[in-house]
């Protein structure tokens, strides 16, 4: 599964970067490809390219505030959650997302 996403917390300091690391580490352990953009106190870092977004199976928005450029993800499956939720049981959450996408792709609800 190819994942792209954005993390952004209220202060734009700790949670933004912790969640990025947790998502990328959990994805690697599961054999997924994952690229996460951060929108923190110092601005946008590691900005996703249009190609990365196009190739992604899912977009994860682990955000507590409004982000810049959310319209880039139109037409892609988007999973939204708080940064706090994204930090807990990250691997299990990613597996649940993959299961839901597979079910939807195979005609399930």
Q: Report pLDDT for 109.
A: 59
**Model confidence over 53-99: pLDDT tens digits?**
999 999 999 999 999 999 999 999 999 999 999 999 899 999 999 99
Alpha-carbon Rg for the chain, nearest whole angstrom, is 13
Burial track 7-27 (b if 16+ CB lie within 10 A, e otherwise): bbbeebeebbbebbebbbebb
Q: Closest Cα partner for 1 from 86, 89, 106, 98? A: 98
pLDDT-based confidence at residue 107 (cuts at 50, 70, 90):
confident
Backbone angles phi, psi at 56, to 5 degrees: -70, 145
Q: Closest Cα partner for 80 from 54, 102, 105, 59? A: 59
Dist. CA 91–CA 109, nearest whole Å: 23
Active site residues: 9
Topology (CATH) of 1-105: Rossmann fold (3.40.50)
**Model confidence over 13-65: pLDDT tens digits?**
899 999 999 999 999 999 999 999 999 999 999 999 999 999 999 999 999 99
pTM value? 0.92
Dist. CA 49–CA 4, nearest whole Å: 10
């Amino acid at each position: 599964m190819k994942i792209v996403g954005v993390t952004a917390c209220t202060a734009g300091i700790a949670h933004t970067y912790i969640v990025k690391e947790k998502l990328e580490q959990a994805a690697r352990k599961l054999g997924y490809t994952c690229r996460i953009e951060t929108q923190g106190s110092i601005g946008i870092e590691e900005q996703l390219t249009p190609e990365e977004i196009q190739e992604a199976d899912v977009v994860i928005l682990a955000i507590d505030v409004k982000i810049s450029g959310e319209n880039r993800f139109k037409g892609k499956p988007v999973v939204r959650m708080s940064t706090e939720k994204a930090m807990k049981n990250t691997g299990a959450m990613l597996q649940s997302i993959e299961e839901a996408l597979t079910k939807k792709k195979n005609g399930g609800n």
